[in-house]
Amino acid sequence: MPWGHDRGVAISVQGVVTVLLPGTGSDDDYLNRALAGPLERAGAVVITVAPEPDRLVAGYLEALDRALAQTLARSGDAGRIAVGGISLGAALAAQWALAHSRHTAAVLAVLPPWT
């Protein structure tokens, strides 16, 4: 299969902590309405992060680190989380996932910004 933005890979998110980050024009309420429902129906344990305008990027990255630390505390070194977001949140989730690939189960990037 050729590489691309959608490789058609299906994974199970049953029981997987899935952290979602909003973009600069949205918030955790929007993520709950737009994405949390389908993910929860698929069995994911969804955490939507509220933006902290004065420390947006740092707050998002800290939320991802916290979720991973909690997962590792429960599951040991083999623990993995799924990460995702919209726009800026998608870019940060992807960046974090690359730096933590061993502990990343999946990335859900919705409307990632062009860089």
**pLDDT value at residue 6:** 53
Q: pLDDT per residue over 6-35, tens digit each? A: 556 688 999 999 999 999 989 999 999 999
- 48, two tokens: 């939507």
Give the span between the Cα atoms of 83 and 90, in whole angstroms: 8
State yes or no: pLDDT of 111 exceeds 80: yes
Give the span between the Cα atoms of 89 and 109, in whole angstroms: 8
**pLDDT value at residue 25:** 87
Please, what is the average pLDDT of the chain?
91
pTM (predicted TM-score): 0.90
Banded model confidence at residue 100, pLDDT cuts 50, 70, 90: very high
Are the CB atoms for 44 and 80 separated by under 8 Å? Answer: no
